[in-house]
Structure 1
Amino acid sequence: MKNLILSIIFINSLLINAQNTRGISDETNWTKNWTNFKPKTTDYNESSNILSGQIDKNTTLSKNNIYLLTGMVYVTNNAVLTIEPGTVIKGDYETNGTLIVAKGSKIIAEGQESNPIIFTSNRPSTQRKSGDWGGLVIFGDAPINKFGSIGQINLNLDSKYNIYGGNNIDSDSGILKFVRIEFAGKKIGTGKLQNSLYIAGVGRKTKLENIQISYSNSDSFVCNGGQLTLKNLISFRANGNDYYFTEGAQVNISNSLAVKNQYFTNPGKSRCFDIESYDVKSNADLTKKLTNVVATNVTLLNEENDNLGLIREAILVKENTAFSMANSIISGFNQCLLLDGKIKTDYENLDKIKFNDVLFNNCTTYIESEFTENNNALKSWYSNNKFYIEYSKANNVDFFVENDVKKIPDFRIKKDKNLTSRLASK
């Protein structure tokens, strides 16, 4: 009986500790072996094979070759593109190398922790910069909330393959696992930028985990509609948004990281999370699902130390969306969360935006509205004990296990209970 009681106490202790873990979590530093926070100094061998045009039959890329992605390369005709662990694919700077997986086709890029798949720039290490090449585009036939259930993206793609969306929640566009995408997001016209990983109408059978996107010239991860489970994602020093959700995306994102830096961002226009249901309201069918993002064990970090305010809010939530965050950390921002001024401060709207066991560290303001007259109501609403929000004022060096990316970074929070305080009056 005594042993049974001790076992129950031990199990309960483990559950409590697991529930109280904030930010990216694991017993070990899961970002350690497959990531690269210094891609500007990494050299790769010269390209030996060229990818161009269409891939219209099942094809495997071998780790024994270095591939050069030239121009718009389409995976079509329901073909499956398989990429072996350890394969390096370079996006061509001159021709804007871009890989597009058309609706009905698949990509199977399943790397390994010790042998990741790498998409990077073909420029020399001394010349690489954000926006050297296009990126990856993956289309599926999962639901979106546009009229007609079909969408297109404005990236000068071949019209035959520039379609996504449908009615298949279980749509399977393949696997991206232990994959790095570096220096993507090329500018392709006046005001138009490609995104590093553009996921549109992709369904829940698609596996997207352990993906690092570094130095994106635009948004890192973009989800247009679909139903997705995302985990172990990293966006590092993006110029645009780290994670952008729109067109009715139904997303669960967990154990993921965004690191912003004032020298690699678009001032005032770059956020960690940008959550909306539509770009233009008249294009959306509001009888369909609106964007709903559930974030668990997420760390959003601003490296800015000079208080110039070049990086604003960590999260922007627009009207007619739902967002919840639990067991997470927002650190170093002028604003933690900014609500669209069109969101009314009534129960119907605010009940869609929830926090549970979230820590705001070293931030100036916390939850505010673009319509400043709503701020007192927001302060009152989120001071309710049910949200369990804590606050601290620790520097990054004291807060994270290792925040220096010149070393081996470890963005898990230090286990120091004295760092935080529960202040409902914040």
Structure 2
Amino acid sequence: MKKFLLGLTLIGAMFTSCSDDDSNGPKKPVEGEITGVITTNQTFAYGNYTLKGIVKIASGATVTFEKGSTITANKQTGDNALVVLNGGKLIINGTAAEPVVFTEASKIPGSWGGIIMYGDAPIKAINAATTATSEDGNNQSYGGGNAAHNGGSLKYVRVEYAGAKLADGTKENNAFTFYSVGTGTTLDHLVAYKGADDGFEFFGGTVSASNLISFGNYDDAFDWQDGWQGQNNTNWYAYQEVKGNFGMEIEASGNNNTFFPKVTNVTLKRVAGTVPEVAGAIEIDAFQFKKEGNGDFNNVIIDGYGNYTEGAKTYEGAAIKIQDAPTNTDQVNNSRIKITNAKISNTTKEVLGASDAIVVGFPNGTFTKSATATGASLETGNWATVGGASLIK
């Protein structure tokens, strides 16, 4: 292990110096491989890197990527992911013009595990448990009492073709997966592009995120559980095409929480002809609330959640679906689900219970519509462009 760490440190020093060799011209990208467990501070200069294996940033270590870098995994080498363990930090200093891109060689959705971060911010898992074990194959404990947990700063980052199952875990790896991450962490201008699971998923925690794009992910654009309670979220944009489930899948692991997350400026778009990820799983709604899920959403655009026909049966898409009676009774009726200033188009139903027995009636002021809603407002640039095409449509 000592020999490996020494080699990694020497390689890092070489990366840092090589990028500045030509002071009279543009920086030349360096090349290198990233693998193993990183236990000391490491800076990866602008370059093209190969990510091999499940790379882990250990507690006490900070890993930094400079703007413009590309990090490529290859599913032919086995399981790959970038994991930030609790106590470790990941700093990604991308810009709109020079984002940091994590991708996979085959460009096939579901080819690697994406970025996974663990913290010790509060959670409420099943049966109100304050800790839980991750289902991602890493078997990490998450949850705790540190609401201000700091896992680093991710700015202008794009993760492509993620969503692979790791080891013996269930398929709980997304482009970005945040386990009990805290308010000390910065998440800003992030793109989840064509993954085989969710674009972004939060397992409890208190972190907030701004300027998110979930584009072409097979499962849900945004998903959370375990009592996630981020309060300062803004500018979330989902574009679902070809294959995709809910725009947002929202649950609270069966706990009747009085708290809830807040998101302003939301756009959820579903292209005509988009089908659910798996046949028989009719998950075609913009917002789905279940297992006591809740939230406060303002200035919302919902477009394209229409009917879906499978075999001889046609299913109605909805802007808001309430999946079970406890969620309706505890969350809708107690004004813990709020969707205000919503502009809804090309969508079959505004509000729908999953069965005839679930009759949804929002209290006054908790579901309101507006013809002038604008939804997410995002800057353009290379951070939101793939193959010359803008992801903001």
Tell me the TM-score range normalised by the shorter chain: 0.7 to 0.9
The match for 1:205 is 184
Against the structure 1 CA distance between its residues 153 and 366, is the aligned structure 2 distance closer, same or farther, given a 3 Å change threshold? same
- Note if 1:356 corresponds to 2:331: no
Corresponding position: 1:118 with 2:97:
no
Alpha carbons of 1:97 and 1:190: their partners in 2 closer, same or farther (altered >3 Å)?
closer
Q: 1:220 aligned to 2:199? A: yes
* 2:235 counterpart of 1:255: yes
Amino acid at match of 1:362: N
Letter in 1 for 2:48: I
1:297 partner amino acid: N
Change (3 A) 1:89 1:372: same
Q: CA 1:70 to 1:317, structure 2 compared with 1: closer, same or farther past 3 Å?
A: same
For each residue in 1:28-74, what CA deviation from the matched residue of structure 2 results, as whole angstroms up to 9, or x when unmatched? xxxxxxxxxxxxxxxxx9993111110000001111x3111111111
2:250 maps to what in 1? 275
The CA distance in 1 between the partners of 2:240 and 2:367, in whole Å, is 26
Matched with 1:167 is: 145
- C-alpha separation in 1, matches of 2:29 and 2:196: 24
Letter in 2 for 1:338: K
How large is the RMSD of aligned CA atoms in angstroms? 2.9
**What's the offset of the Cα at 1:114?**
1.1
- Percentage of matched positions with identical amino acids: 25
Specify whether residues 387 and 55 from structure 1 end up closer, same or farther in structure 2 by C-alpha distance, changes over 3 A only.
same
TM-score under structure 2 normalisation?
0.77
Equivalent residue number for residue 327 of structure 1: 299
**Structure 2 residue matching 1:338: 3-state secondary structure:** strand
Name stretches of at least 5 consecutive residues in structure 2 with no aligned partner. Answer: 1-27, 306-316, 373-384
Corresponding letter in the other structure for 1:332: G
Please tell me the residue identity of whatever aligns with 1:254.
Answer: T
Q: Which among 99, 102, 117 is matched to residue 85 of structure 2?
A: 102
Question: Does residue 1:86 correspond to 2:68, yes or no?
Answer: yes
Partner of 1:300: 268
Question: What residue number does 1:374 align with?
Answer: 358
Partner of 1:203, secondary structure, is: coil
User: Match for residue 43 of structure 2?
Assistant: 60
More moved, 303-312 vs 179-188: 303-312
Partner of 2:208: 229
Cα distance in 1 for partners of 2:291, 2:228 equals 14
Offset of residue 257 of structure 1: 0.2
Rounded to whole Å, the distance in 1 between the matches of 2:240 and 2:222 is 12
Distance 1:317-1:385 versus aligned 2 partners, 3 A rule: closer
SS at match of 2:358: helix
- Code of the residue aligned with 1:275 in structure 2: it is I
The count of corresponding residues between Structure 1 and Structure 2 is: 333
Q: CA deviation at 1:227?
A: 0.5
8 Å CA contact 1:56, 1:77 repeated in 2: yes
Contact 1:276 1:291 in 2 (8 A): no
Residues 339 and 47 of structure 1: CA distance in aligned 2, closer, same or farther (over 3 Å) = farther
Residue-by-residue CA offset, 1:102-149 (whole Å, 9 max, x unaligned): 0011000121111101100123xxxx2101211111011111113663
Deviation at residue 156 of structure 1 after TM alignment: 2.4
Match of 1:315 in 2: 287
Contact map agreement 2:150 2:184 (CA 8 A) in 1: yes
Question: Could you tell me whether the CA contact under 8 Å between 1:275 and 1:291 is conserved in 2?
Answer: no
Report the AA paired with residue 302 of structure 1: R
Residue aligned with 1:129, SS: coil
Deviation per residue, 1:88-113 (Å, 9 max, x gap) = 11122122211111001100012111
Equivalent position of 1:389 in the other structure? 369
1:150 corresponds to which residue? 131
Separation of aligned partners in 2, 1:62 and 1:198: 25
Structure with the largest fraction of helix: 1
For the 8 Å contact 1:361–1:391, the answer to whether it is kept is no
Letter in 1 for 2:272: E
**Pair 1:72-2:58 in alignment:** no
Shift of 1:212: 0.6
Shift of 1:410: 4.3
Q: Deviations over 1:295-330 (max 9, x none)?
A: 211000001258999761111111323212111111
Give the TM-score normalised by the residue count of structure 1: 0.71
Listed one character per residue, the Cα deviations across residues 366-402 of structure 1 (whole Å, up to 9, x for unaligned) are: 1111132333x53xx46x566431479xxxxxxxxxx
Cα distance in 2 for residues equivalent to 1:299 and 1:214: 16
Tell me, in whole angstroms, the C-alpha distance in 1 between the residues paired with 2:217 and 2:266: 17
